């Protein structure tokens, strides 16, 4: 019947419309989500501060700037989470400086150290409170980058910094994902900083620490205590070997100041062998890394650029500790960067001055004590074994309750004289 036919047509048309409506209803949110995703992930053309590197220095600075309401982009050439070779020993004083809890990424609380001198005379020292914590860098750095994103910083991983040009009150930054213009650029891109190279900074650093490092599954060393670190010292000038426990593996390496690679390689091998206690050859590989040390307060800024963390050579010349200085250099720089933006300055000289004031004296004192220690490592070893005063002083330095700067102050004018000589 025609009427019926008409009815069928309408229902057909109706179901077509309904399908279209369903199609639009399902597709639109998808389109909107896709658009949102594209907008969020297209590489920004402009930002106030661009940070190269999302290690502890870069992520901390991104966090602090975002907290101050600044438009900040931080990028890293690696996809996160990314691996990073590091013993992962974190001074507990960092925990006092961070505005959030590092608990989720802490693997071990360390409350004791076994020291050997030239692989002999082992002594064990325990401290009632944690001397340090250990973390896997993959988790720590992912966690810090996440905190910065949560605070509002934009993060692009898998994006490599290529070059920069400073002109007309801005920095044009070329990356593998496009060009971005920023008011300031920060090089937090680690020990082999490309930002530093492009700026012509840190080029004369002939002072460095060379570290040879292996990661060994804990199952291969069931006889080692899981919450104790091992240090060997005195075997090789201005060097020490370390074993730091994590949940599933031990970080085992050796590091030294201005040491030829074959020497430190042999030292690390000898250290591993003393722990291995087996006839067969060692079933793990090792890799080497150079950490440049900042010398004589050479510039770490130029125009609208600044270097932080390893890129600026802010590493303890005695222990090789760098995570603390990466985080602190970023925390010191953040409010001054905000001020520079507010007052439309075209230099970050004040950031460098603040880092010189707040971090360099401690690092320079550490260099002095490395030299003093190096005169008679056996004396220090025996003192740590026999004197509670010496052990407590070292434990307090490790915990960040005291620094070598305090020790230098105790020496009075002699300390100042020695420091001038050591610089
Ligand atoms: C073997 C070894 C053991 C160590 N153990 C300790 C320890 O136990 N405790 C401690 O405190 N310190 C330790 N350190 C030092 C510590 O690892 C560094 O001081 C610390 O990682 C510095 O942080 P950062 O943010 O400055 O640089 P990094 O952590 O190196 O981060 C730099 C980031 O920049 C990125 N990047 C580099 N180039 C580019 C580019 N062109 N474009 C985009 N991104 C780029 C990298 O991918 C990286 O993610 C150790 C170092 C070594 C080598």
In tens, the pLDDT along 309-357 reads 999 999 999 999 999 999 999 999 999 999 999 999 999 999 999 999 9
**Ligand 1: does its nearest atom lie under 6 Å from the Cβ of 292?**
no
Q: What is the largest CA-CA distance in the chain?
A: 114
Mean pLDDT across the chain, nearest whole number?
Answer: 90
What are 378's two structure tokens?
A: 């056996």
Q: Give 311 Cα–ligand 1 centroid separation in angstroms.
A: 9
**Which atom of ligand 1 sits closest to the CA of residue 312?**
26
Alpha-carbon dihedral sign for residues 336, 337, 338, 344: positive
Q: What mean pLDDT is predicted for residues 288-303? A: 92
Q: How far apart are CA 130 and CA 202, in angstroms?
A: 35
Place of tokens 């890293």: 76
In whole angstroms, how far apart are CA 365 and each of 255, 299, 310, 327, 393? Answer: 19, 19, 18, 20, 15
Q: Give 55 Cα–ligand 1 centroid separation in angstroms.
A: 6
List the residue whose alpha carbon is closest to atom 30 of ligand 1.
Answer: 190
Of 74-88, 124-138, 223-237, the one with minimum mean pLDDT is 223-237
**Which atom of ligand 1 sits closest to the CA of residue 89?**
8
* Residues 299 and 355: beta-carbon distance below 8 Å: no
Q: How confident is the model at residue 284 (pLDDT cuts 50, 70, 90)?
A: confident
**Which atom of ligand 1 sits closest to the CA of residue 59?**
25
Q: For position 7, what pLDDT does the model report?
A: 40
> First vs last Cα of the chain: how many Å apart?
104
Q: What is the DSSP letter of 154?
A: E
Alpha-carbon dihedral sign for residues 168, 61, 292, 138: negative
Above pLDDT 70, what percent of the chain? Answer: 88
Q: For position 21, what pLDDT does the model report?
A: 67
pLDDT at 419 over 90: no
pLDDT at 4 over 80: no
**Ligand 1: does its nearest atom lie under 6 Å from the Cβ of 320?**
yes
pLDDT at 272 over 50: yes
Mutate to test the pocket of ligand 1, among 189, 256, 265, 316 (most ligand atoms within 8 A of CB): 189
Q: What mean pLDDT is predicted for residues 386-414? A: 87
Exposure string over 253-291, b if 16+ CB within 10 A, otherwise e: bbbbbebeeeebbebbebbbeebbeeeeebeeebebbeb
What are 53's two structure tokens?
A: 């590197």
Write the pLDDT tens digit of every residue in 396-408: 999 999 888 887 7
What are 362's two structure tokens?
A: 């401690």
pLDDT at 242 over 90: yes
Domain over 46-362 is classified CATH 3.20.20.120: no
Q: What is the DSSP letter of 218?
A: G
Contacts of 182 (CB under 8 A, 6+ apart): 46, 47, 48, 49, 50, 73, 170, 171, 173, 304
For residue 371, is the peptide bond before it cis, meaning its omega torsion is within 30 degrees of 0?
Answer: no
Q: How many CA atoms lie within 13 A of 116 on its CB side?
A: 16
Mutate to test the pocket of ligand 1, among 59, 76, 140 (most ligand atoms within 8 A of CB): 76
Mutate to test the pocket of ligand 1, among 51, 62, 77, 82 (most ligand atoms within 8 A of CB): 77
Question: How many C-beta atoms surround the C-beta of residue 328 within 10 A?
Answer: 23
pLDDT at 280 over 90: no
Q: What mean pLDDT is predicted for residues 110-129? A: 95
Q: How confident is the model at residue 277 (pLDDT cuts 50, 70, 90)?
A: confident
Q: Which long-range contacts (CB under 8 A, 24 or more apart) does 379-385 make?
A: 380/233, 381/115, 381/117, 381/121, 381/123, 381/233, 381/234, 384/115, 384/123, 384/125, 385/115, 385/121, 385/123, 385/125
Q: For position 246, what pLDDT does the model report?
A: 94
pLDDT at 20 over 70: no
Contacts of 280 (CB under 8 A, 6+ apart): none
**Ligand 1: does its nearest atom lie under 6 Å from the Cβ of 110?**
no
- H/E stretch holding 260 reads none
Q: How confident is the model at residue 197 (pLDDT cuts 50, 70, 90)?
A: very high
Q: For position 221, what pLDDT does the model report?
A: 83
**Ligand 1: does its nearest atom lie under 6 Å from the Cβ of 86?**
yes
**Ligand 1: does its nearest atom lie under 6 Å from the Cβ of 84?**
yes
**Ligand 1: does its nearest atom lie under 6 Å from the Cβ of 57?**
yes
Exposure string over 392-416, b if 16+ CB within 10 A, otherwise e: ebbbebbbbebbbbebbeeeeeebe
Q: For position 413, what pLDDT does the model report?
A: 75
Stronger pLDDT, 411 or 95, i.e. the higher one: 95
- H/E stretch holding 247 reads none
Stronger pLDDT, 406 or 423, i.e. the higher one: 406
Q: How far apart are CA 106 and CA 92, in angstroms?
A: 11
Q: For position 226, what pLDDT does the model report?
A: 84
Write the pLDDT tens digit of every residue in 140-182: 999 999 999 999 999 999 999 999 999 989 999 999 999 999 9
pLDDT at 8 over 60: no
In whole angstroms, how far apart are CA 336 and each of 73, 97, 282, 329? Answer: 17, 17, 50, 11
68 φ, ψ (degrees, to nearest 5) = -90, 5
Stronger pLDDT, 54 or 422, i.e. the higher one: 54
């Amino acid at each position: 019947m025609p009427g019926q036919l008409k009815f069928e047509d309408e229902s057909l048309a109706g179901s077509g419309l309904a399908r279209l409506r369903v199609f639009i209803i399902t597709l639109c949110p998808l389109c909107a989500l896709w658009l949102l995703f594209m907008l969020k992930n297209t590489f920004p053309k402009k930002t106030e501060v661009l940070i190269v590197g999302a290690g502890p220095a870069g992520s901390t600075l991104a966090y602090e700037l975002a907290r101050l309401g600044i438009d900040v982009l931080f990028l890293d050439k690696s996809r996160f989470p990314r691996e990073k070779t590091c013993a992962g020993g974190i001074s507990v004083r960092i925990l006092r400086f961070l505005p959030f809890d590092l608990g989720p990424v802490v693997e071990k609380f360390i409350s004791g150290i076994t020291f050997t001198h030239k692989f002999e005379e082992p002594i064990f020292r325990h401290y009632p409170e944690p001397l340090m914590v250990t973390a896997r860098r993959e988790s720590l750095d992912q966690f810090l980058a996440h905190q910065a994103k949560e605070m509002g910083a934009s993060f692009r991983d898998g994006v490599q910094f290529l070059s920069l040009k400073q002109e007309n009150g801005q920095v044009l930054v070329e990356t593998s994902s496009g060009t971005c213009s920023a008011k300031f650029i920060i090089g937090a891109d680690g020990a082999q900083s490309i930002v530093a190279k492009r700026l012509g900074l840190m080029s004369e650093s002939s002072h460095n620490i060379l570290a040879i490092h292996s990661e060994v599954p804990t199952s291969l060393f069931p006889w080692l205590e899981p919450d104790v670190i091992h240090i060997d010292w005195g075997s090789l000038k201005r060097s020490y070997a370390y074993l730091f426990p994590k949940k599933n593996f031990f970080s085992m390496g050796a590091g030294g100041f201005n040491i030829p690679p074959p020497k430190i390689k042999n030292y690390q091998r000898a250290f591993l062998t003393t722990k291995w206690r087996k006839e067969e050859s060692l079933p793990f590989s090792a890799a080497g890394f150079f950490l440049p040390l900042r010398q004589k307060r050479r510039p770490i800024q130029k125009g609208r650029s600044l270097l932080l963390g390893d890129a600026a050579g802010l590493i303890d010349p005695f222990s090789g500790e760098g995570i603390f200085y990466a985080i602190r250099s970023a925390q010191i720089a953040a409010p001054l960067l905000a001020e520079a933006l507010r007052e439309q300055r075209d230099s970050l000289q004040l950031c460098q001055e603040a880092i010189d004031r707040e971090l360099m004296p401690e690092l320079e004192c550490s260099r002095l004590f490395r030299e003093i220690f190096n005169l008679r490592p056996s004396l220090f070893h025996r003192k740590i074994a026999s004197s509670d005063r010496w052990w407590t002083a070292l434990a307090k330095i490790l915990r960040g309750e005291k620094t070598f700067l305090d020790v230098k102050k105790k020496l009075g004018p002699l300390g100042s004289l020695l420091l001038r000589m050591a610089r």
